[in-house]
Amino acid sequence: MNFLKQFFEFTRPGNNNISGQCKLCGKLYADKLKSTGNFHKHLKRKHTTQYEESKFSDSIPTKNDTNDYSENLTSNVIKINQVILEELIVKCNLPPSIIEHNGFRNFLKMVAPKWKPTSARHFTKTLLPSLLNNVQDKIKNLLDSVDHLCITVDVWTDRRGRSFAGVTGHFLDLEYVPQALLLDFLRLKGPHTGENIQNITIQILDNMKIKGKVYRIITDNACSMIKAYKFGLSVTDIDYTVQDDNKQQQDDDYDGLSEWLLVDWCENNNDLFDKGNDPAKRLSCFAHSLQLTIRDGLKYTPYLSKSLSKCINLARRSHKSTKIADILDDIGKTINKSNMTRWSSEYLLIKSIIGLGKKSINEITDVIDDNGLKFSNDDFVILQEAVQILEPFAEITSRIQSESVVTASLVVPSVVHIIDHLKTIKSNISFLKKLCLQLEQATNERFSGIVKRLSQQIVYQDDPFSDPIYFVCTVLDPEFKFFWLVQMNYTPILESQMKQHLIQMILNECEKNIDTSFDNLESSSSSSTLMTNSHTTQSIDASILKKRKLFQYDERFNSSVGSTMTPINEINVYINDPIRSKFSLYWKNSDLYCLKGVVKRAFSIQAASAPIERVFSQAGIIMSPRRTSMNEEVFKSLVFLRVNQNMI
């Protein structure tokens, strides 16, 4: 009867009869007091649309549609269900079953009395797929306007042993701000072979019609990932974990960084990528390669191994003892746990041990009463040296996995900083000199493509991190330009030579954006010297220098040269620009059109596969131990929507 009152004006019953006048058409109907069939039949025959909308609210209209009839009772219920799905189930990760909890329903009765109880099945079978399709359509429309895309790919296994493949997409928007999206999260059945991973990747890209837009593919160094893109997608670097020692390049006779010898910068077919036709290529995850570097460096370090073993055993014992917990609580300290899959966990463990101090450590070891866990003075010195050596590695690992800034430009300066750091700190180390030497060797091997370019040796395509795009990104980041070269301690001649090579790399990238060659341009600009003295990086044309005014950078270009500048002149202006601002702000306001084209393409690259790892982290939160029975389709939808919640 309450349902019918929104359509009929009822009069007082008499003789067990009831009459009602339809609010929609004005007709009068009557029926028995305990029977309402006549009224329902009238609504079904004459007012079908209104009747169905009110009785069966099984669809979600768009937000614009709901605003058009927000005063309607049914519309309000739909909006409430939509908010519950988006804000509570997707963004707050509450289970869909909460809809059927008495406490939740009682709460909604208080805040939204007109809300009608709905089943969890209605949310998972109707509302969730509708929201998923809506977000997928938004992402496809957004990617239609994107020219270049970088993807990260990895495979994850849930608590039930089911495997899933995830692919994230990355690009710069119109404001030159890095954007990240989860393209898809699909079930991967069968073995994790390179062929299966390649097939599911292509399936995802073809489904979104963006395969031709993919510029680089970032993965970890697993053998299956390296093999996945051999057919149709070329592999640009090979991980030394799958190589024998005798497979290292014979010409890699570079031993240490104490001397820099200028050799001919020979470029062959293996050194430069094809121009014009630039298909997607695989790049290794820098963070994963850095972790492997540290793992290699920590091998065969007896002093550190012994002290680190004490730290790990102490952490294990301390988390099982209430007495130790009381001691730590009294001093307001904690002991970090060690994680075998993350080297940084051991670094943080060492720092937490040092932070306790020798006095507190002695109190804790006395409670344990195990002489094997006693820390000597030498142990503390060794641990402090380990922190000093590994601190830059930890900082780089953190920064390289950032999701709010561009990261491709961090790769080369990071390697340069590690080289300089290890070279400098060796003289201040007493016990762990071998660790420094092993880290140097591992760095030279794991990042040989970068190290060889820095020492101006021949670089082959099989060398790890051989892609010159890393150097291009570094120079085109206003934060770095050529400033990072100071850590290499080049002679003036070597520094000038290196800058010329870097500029040539950028010119090679510029050629991919235009149809004409730069042969005439290079010959006409060869008379202009780029490096003149130690005070300025390059000489600037006199007419440009006279026109240049501080804080009028954009206005000057808009009124004069604009897009008519040649690439070499754009590079010259960019390098000598005194304005140092954030990456996005700089390139958004710049009129260096050719360089902006290179920036849009190159800075879609991610230095690490951290974005897809963050997706798996969210998947692990959704698939909690209490929700392992979740339906596969519901699980995939929730992961996709939670990661892409900014698109809702």
Q: Residues 6 or more apart from 154 whose CB is under 8 A from it?
A: 165, 166, 219, 220, 225, 609, 612, 613, 616
Q: Report the candidate in 165, 166, 169, 170 with the shortest Cα–Cα distance to residue 188.
A: 165
pLDDT per position as a tens digit, 133-153: 999 999 999 999 999 999 999
**Ramachandran category for residue 405: left, alpha or beta (phi over 0 → left; psi -120 to 50 → alpha):** beta
> Binning pLDDT at 50, 70 and 90, where does residue 196 land?
very high
pLDDT per position as a tens digit, 211-229: 999 999 999 999 999 898 7
Distance CA 439, CA 445 (A): 10
What pLDDT does 340 receive? 67
DSSP calls for 611-643: HHHHHHHHHHHHS-GGGTT--HHHHHHHHHHHH
**Per this entry, what is the length of the chain?**
648
What pLDDT does 541 receive? 41
Percent of the chain with pLDDT over 90: 59
The HSE-up count of residue 571 (CA atoms within 13 Å, CB side) is 26
> Binning pLDDT at 50, 70 and 90, where does residue 98 land?
very high
- Segment 468-492 mean pLDDT: 96
Distance CA 134, CA 466 (A): 41
Tokens of 289: 């390669």
**Cβ–Cβ < 8 Å for 321, 367:** yes
pLDDT at 129 over 80: yes
What pLDDT does 256 receive? 33
Helix orientation angle between 610-622 and 632-643, rounded to the nearest 10 degrees: 130
Distance CA 463, CA 446 (A): 9
What pLDDT does 233 receive? 53
Distance CA 310, CA 224 (A): 36
Tokens of 136: 């997928």
Tokens of 48: 């079908």
Strand duo 163-172 + 149-157: pairing? antiparallel
> Binning pLDDT at 50, 70 and 90, where does residue 383 land?
very high
What pLDDT does 300 receive? 85
In order of their start, the domains of the chain are: 4-55 (no CATH), 63-135 (no CATH), 147-235+616-647 (3.30.420), 283-514+528-602 (no CATH)
Helix orientation angle between 286-298 and 411-425, rounded to the nearest 10 degrees: 20
List the single range of 43-57, 253-267, 484-498, 528-542 with lowest mean pLDDT: 253-267
pLDDT at 246 over 50: no
DSSP calls for 253-292: ----SS----------TTTSPPSS----EEEE-HHHHHHH
Q: Where are the alpha helices (DSSP H) in 268-375?
A: 286-298, 302-318, 322-331, 343-368
pLDDT at 65 over 60: no
Q: Is the pTM of this model over 0.95?
A: no
The phi and psi torsions of 436 (rounded to 5 degrees) equal -60, -45
**Cβ–Cβ < 8 Å for 500, 264:** no
The phi and psi torsions of 447 (rounded to 5 degrees) equal -125, 40
Determine the 3-state secondary structure of 171 from DSSP: strand
Distance CA 304, CA 645 (A): 45
Distance CA 320, CA 367 (A): 12
pLDDT at 462 over 50: yes
> Binning pLDDT at 50, 70 and 90, where does residue 55 land?
low
The HSE-up count of residue 584 (CA atoms within 13 Å, CB side) is 14
**Cβ–Cβ < 8 Å for 594, 567:** yes
- Segment 410-431 mean pLDDT: 95
Q: Residues 6 or more apart from 629 whose CB is under 8 A from it?
A: none
**Cβ–Cβ < 8 Å for 310, 262:** no
pLDDT at 400 over 80: yes
Percent of the chain with pLDDT over 70: 80
- The torsion angle over the Cα atoms of residues 188, 189, 194 and 197, rounded to 10 degrees, is -20
pLDDT at 524 over 60: no
Determine the 3-state secondary structure of 441 from DSSP: helix
pLDDT per position as a tens digit, 573-593: 999 998 888 999 999 999 999
pLDDT at 518 over 80: no
